[in-house]
Structure 1
Amino acid sequence: MLVLARRSWPRCSLARRRTLSTLASNPEIKVFANPGSPASHLLSYLDTQPPNARLAIGSCTALPPTPPTFSQNARFVSLLNDVVSQHGHEDPDVVSQAQALAGRAGRSSLGGWVHLSDRRNPPDFGRTAWPEDILGSVEVSDAGKVVGRLQPSGTYRIVTNEGILGLSPFMQAKLLQRLKEEESRQGQQQQ
């Protein structure tokens, strides 16, 4: 005789389970209902519920977000630029671009600039990313070493027609670390 096993979950465990929605184009970005505006969503790297609107990437009225439906959070942009300035020159993508700039065979290299660009729309090899995809730029010596810190571009857009924010794993980890520090700092100030 064949017996079918049926799994059943107690109702109480389902009621306590928290569902978390993410963007299909970037699963690291969480989507929350916006408590301040029922017709919109908050987008955040943090999974804290209720979401911290001061640390959210921004809000949108439609998913996936597009330039007309997205409003960026100025505080988040400031934190992003701060993280880019502090850690962008250490990003493995920037370091490898710097080494490639100096390593061009048969050419007298005088150094130059390399750009840290968003990964949502990567440029073809040897090409420069679109201005709205460049997070910042850094000077490179003739030896292929990064000189100084990365400077934010001022032209970067969190959402473009190509999609939403797509940081390298290194920059994403640094940004998430900073957001958690800010969240902790805000929590301590409220106590």
Structure 2
Amino acid sequence: MLCLLRPTILRATPRLVRPFTSTSWLSQSMPETPLPSSKDPSHPHLFYHPNSTYVSLSFLPHPPAVYGSRTVLGYLPLGDATLDDFREEPKFRKVLNDAVKSGLEQGKATTVQFEAETRPVDGWIHITDERAIPPAGRIGETEDLIGSVYVQGGKIVADTYSPLPTYRLVTTNGVMQLPEGLDKHVIEVLEGIDKEERKQAAADLM
């Protein structure tokens, strides 16, 4: 019987993740019969999608349509795993940054907007991952700072958004949790990408 990933294991290790690299457990073939997906009870949006050798981490409830899907945050080997085993899906990072910027442009980032409106002077503010919210008046750890955006006259200047290269999708505090409003917007973007990938996968089979 296969031992599936225990969700709580993602918060139990003191080590940081390594960048995605080619590993033996990352097969490019998708299973004919996918194993059951599961929701992480400690995260508002995270799902685990296992196949015969590894687990895909995603904010969508169903398995990805293709290997290397842009909707997947990254991968863990099937069975007992720690944060050090996480491998980021390279394509996801661009999707995330583009979605955050479009969310700012469309006014979807409600908590970020509130911070901008209450800021007494113009300047840069950080968009911080909510898995580790710093005390009031403090700046979060660099691994938790998603990006920065300029505020002028209490309004977000969306085209100034700049993602920070030090941001990590997974840390000792868990998997990324976007600020309210941005989280739902990113999921909507991922749903759109998933539809495109499924349509293309179906066309490739014809």
AA matched with 1:44:
S
Which shows bigger deviation, 81-90 or 59-68? 59-68
The alignment's TM-score, normalised by the length of structure 1, stands at 0.75
Query: Could you tell me which of 95, 101, 110 is aligned with 1:79?
Result: 95
Could you give the per-residue CA deviations for residues 135-160 of structure 1, whole angstroms, max 9, x where no partner exists?
Answer: 1111112x222223322122210001
User: Quick check: 1:153 aligned with 2:173?
Assistant: no
1:147 maps to a residue whose letter is: V
Letter of the 1:169 counterpart: E
**Amino acid across the alignment from 1:101:** R
> Cα offset for 1:87?
1.3
Residue correspondence of structure 1 range 50-65 to structure 2 within 5 A: 52-53=66-67, 54=69, 55-61=71-77
Contact 1:66/1:161 (<8 A) preserved? no
- Find the aligned partners of 2:116 and 2:180 in 1 and give their Cα distance: 18
Q: Which has the larger radius of gyration?
A: 1
In the superposition, the TM-score normalised over structure 2's length comes to 0.70
Which residue in 2 is equivalent to 1:105?
Answer: none
**1:44 and 2:58 aligned:** yes
Tell whether the 8 Å contact from 2:145 to 2:164 is kept in structure 1 after alignment: yes
Q: Which amino acid aligns with 1:43?
A: L
Partner amino acid for 1:187?
A: R
Q: Distance in 2 between matches of 1:148 and 1:182?
A: 22
Q: Using the alignment, how far apart are the partners of 2:131 and 2:80 within structure 1?
A: 14
Gaps of 5+ in 1: 1-17, 103-108
For 1:136-147, list aligned pairs within 5 A.
136-141=147-152, 143-147=153-157
Q: Distance in 2 between matches of 1:168 and 1:71?
A: 23
**187 and 20 in structure 1: CA distance in 2 versus 1, 3 angstrom threshold:** closer
Percent of residue pairs bearing the same amino acid type: 28
Aligned 8 A contact 2:104 2:158 in 1: no
In 2, Cα distance between equivalents of 1:188 and 1:137: 35
Distance 1:124 1:63, change over 3 A: farther
Aligned AA (2:93):
V
- What's the secondary structure of 2:167's corresponding residue? coil
1:2-40 Cα distance to aligned partner (Å, 9 max, x none): xxxxxxxxxxxxxxxx954122331421112134xx2x3
Instruction: Summarize the Cα distance change of 1:98–1:49 in structure 2 as closer, same or farther, 3 Å threshold.
Output: closer
Q: Counterpart of 2:39 in structure 1: which amino acid? A: T
